[in-house]
Each structure stands twice: as structure tokens, then as C-alpha cells.
Amino acid sequence: MLPTPVLLTVEELSASYGSIQALHQVNLQVEEGQIACVLGANGAGKTTLMRALSGLMEKPQGRTHFQGRDLLSMEAEDIVKYGIAHVPQGRMVFAQLSVLDNLKLGGYTRPAKEVLHDIDRVLSYFPRLKERIAQRAGTLSGGEQQMLAIARGLLSKPKLLMLDEPSMGVAPILKEFIFEKLREIRNAENLSILLVEQDAALALQIADMGYVMETGRIVLKGPCDELSRSDVVQQAYLSTQN
């Protein structure tokens, strides 16, 4: 069997906020059709990693190969056009706009007719959003807003979907629903997903490959079934979630 092609390779990635270094020579990769997760506590550097890959950090150092191109040489808007969608921490939906208008904005890099055609397909994953299509996004629950943020990201038709803390501020029952939907979407669309998450138990359930980040460094990595049995991961990330 041929090896699965690698979609994203991150090598020696470092990034700073002024004089404060937030990432220290981070290395990771995401294969085509794979869900990779980055685990870590608040302040570990997970959000900085996502921002650096999305072109939102000033002067990161290292190499980030995505389908033969170095993301660090590209502007943020070109990274979106090239096939990476970033669903940020806190969802950042447009509160005064309807669910439908938020979805349309997700496809701003694509022809409008194509986006309208794809909205029904994307809403098939999230029936709650279809029921609330004319409702203002700011009136949705936290879980519904997270669904909307993911659906909006999908409408750019990405090859890689990056999700920053999708469980934050979401009721437990909706967390499980959203994570199961991510696995369903990956399988249905052969989509690669890079997920950063504090809820290690949920992330390890759906991801294939995992990385543990502490103080801006990757300190542990491996297949998720192995990581979930690791004493380090059990004690630091799973024991308080049982």
C-alpha cells in the first residue's frame, strides 16, 4: 500500500509577540484525509500556531509546506484561496447578520452561484442551522454558533480545515454532536482537519494523529490510540476529565 500523501508539513516553526517567543521550532504534519489534533493547556501556544499557519502572525520563522508552497510567503487572503479555512477561537460569527448571510460570507473567494449550491449540502450536516436560516447569528446558542462557524469555513471549500478550540463555551451534549460531525465531514469529503483543543478526551476520540504542546513546544506526538494510553497524557489531560 502506498503511503498517504502529506498535505501540510510544518518544520522548525517559531513565532513571537514582540519580545515574547510563543512558538519554539514546532514540527508537525497533516496527511490527506487525516484529523490531527494539538493538545495543550491555555497559553501552550496552540492559537499562535493556528494564526501563524493562517498568515496572521508577523514574521514567523521556519517552513510550512502546503501542497508545494510555503505558507509563510503568502498573505492571509491568499492562504484561504489556496485551500485553508481557519475557524477561530470564540467562533467570531457576524452577530447582526442572519445564519444565511454568515454562510454566504464563508464562500467569498468563490463564485456566488457555486456557494448557493453548496449551502444546502453544508447545512445537511447541521439541521439546526437550516431551521434557523433566517435567524440572527448572535441569538444562537454557543453550540449553534460553533456549528455556524464550521459550516461557514466549509463554504470556502477548503482542503484543510483548522479549528481552534471548537468545544469552548459549548454544552456537553452539543460538544459530542459537533465532534462526531467533524468525523462525518472528514469521511464524506476526504477533508483534512487540524484541531487544537483543551478537551483531550474528545479530540483523541476522533483524531488520527496527536501532538502535545507545552510552552510553545511539541513535547509528545504519536497516533491518538497510543497517546490516549500514555501515562503523561492520562495524568495531565485525561484524569481530570473522567
Which has the closest alpha carbon to 106: 51, 154, 53?
154
pLDDT score for 2: 67
What is Dmax (Cα atoms) for the chain?
51
pLDDT score for 239: 63
What digits encode the pLDDT tens for the residues 154-182?
Answer: 999 999 999 999 988 888 889 999 999 99
| 125-134: long-range pairs with CB below 8 Å, 24+ | 125/151, 125/154, 125/181, 125/184, 125/185, 126/150, 126/151, 126/181, 129/99, 129/103, 132/99, 133/98, 133/99, 133/100, 134/98, 134/99, 134/100
pTM reported for the whole predicted model: 0.91
60: phi then psi, degrees, rounded to nearest 5 = -70, 155
Flag whether pLDDT at 140 surpasses 90.
yes
Q: Which domains does the chain have, with CATH numbers?
A: 1-19+32-69+158-242 (3.40.50.300), 92-157 (no CATH)
**Residue 230 one-letter amino acid:** S
Flag whether pLDDT at 241 surpasses 50.
no
What is the pLDDT confidence band of residue 242, given thresholds at 50, 70 and 90? very low
